[in-house]
Amino acid sequence: MQPRSAGRAPGPAIPSSALAGAIDLGAVKARADAAARAADAPPPAAGSYVIDVTEDTFQAEVLDRSFQVPVLIDLWAEWCQPCKALSPVLERLANAGGGSWILAKVDVDANPRIQQALQVQSIPTIFAVIGGQLVPGFAGAIPEAQVREFIAAVLEAAERAGLSGPGEGAVVPEGYLQDEIEDPEPEPEPPGDPRLAIAEQYIEDGEFALAAAAYEAILAVEPNHADAGLALKQVHLLDRLSVLPEDAVEVADAAPDDIAAQLAAADLLLAGGEIAAALARLINAVRRTSGDERAEIRARLVEYFDLLGPEDPSVPQARRDLANALF
C-alpha cells in the first residue's frame, strides 16, 4: 500500500512534569492512582461523549478517564479554519460510538499550558490516551475515512490493553471493529503495549513517518524501550527502501566514490537477503573514506548490526572487518 497523506505528526510525548506536575504519564504510581480513581468513577453518561476540557479538568476527564475508555484529544481554536472542518467529524463519530471512546476538546487559546505540555506546534492536532499513555495521532484536517481508521486502531489497542470498552447500549459505527465487538465470546489476547499497536498500524498503512513519530514518542518517555528502539530502525530502513530505484546497485557500482549511492545499494541488498554483500559493500566504503563520510557509513553498519542481531552469523565477522577498516 502506498503511503497516504495524513498531516504532520505531532511533537514529542508529553513531559513527565507537564502542567506543574498535574500530568505525569511516566510515573507508575501516578498511573496506579489514576486507575484507582477511574475504577471508582461512574462511566460516561449517555450523550456526554464529547466534553470540553480545561487545565483544571485534564487529569480527571482525560488521564483518569483513559483507564475506562480511550480518550481522543482534539486541540483546536475558534480562529482555526481546518479545526472547523475536522472537529464536527470527530464529534459526530464520538456520539455515534456511544461511549466506546471519549472526545476531549481543548481550546488552546483558553488552555495554553496543555498545548505547551503536549508540545503542539500547529492545530488541529489529535492525540489518543489509553490507560494513561499518550499515543501520537495526526495533525491537520484529514479525510473522514482516515479519521475512522485511526479511531479503529485506537479501539483495537484499547481492547488489547484490557480496557472495558463501550458500555451497555453502545453503538459502534461502521469501521469500528464491529466484528470483534459483536463476538459474544472473543478469544482472550495477551495484553500488549497500545503505543506499539498504533505504530504497527501506521507501518501496515505505509505511513512510515507517522510510525517513526510514534516510536520516537515512546523513546522520549522510555529511552531504553528495546522494542521501540529496534522498530524505529526498521521503520527508517522501510522508509528509505520505499523511494529506492530498482537499479540502485548498478548505480553504486558505476560510482564507487558516491557515498549516498553506496548506502542506497547496501539497503537494497540487505532487504533482498544479500546480507554479506551489503555489509561488505559498506566496509569497503569505510576503507576508502574518512571524516564525516566514514562516520555516516559506520553508523549505517551499526544500524545493520542491530537489525540483524548478534545471532546472525554474518555479524561477528563484519564487526571484526569494520574494526580492521577503521584502525
Active site residues: 80, 83
For the chain, the helix, strand and coil percentages under 3-state DSSP, each to the nearest 5: 55, 10, 35
- The Cα–Cα gap between 223 and 285 comes to 31
- Where would I find the beta strands (DSSP E) of the chain? 50-52, 71-76, 102-107, 125-130, 133-139
- The Cα–Cα gap between 232 and 254 comes to 31
- The Cα–Cα gap between 225 and 57 comes to 31
Overall residue count recorded for the chain in this entry: 327
Q: Is residue 139 a contact partner of residue 10, using CB atoms and an 8 Å limit?
A: yes
For residue 278, give every residue at least 6 positions away whose Cβ sits within 8 Å of its Cβ, in sequence order, or none.
265, 266, 267, 269, 270, 304
Beta-bridged to residue 135, according to DSSP, are 128
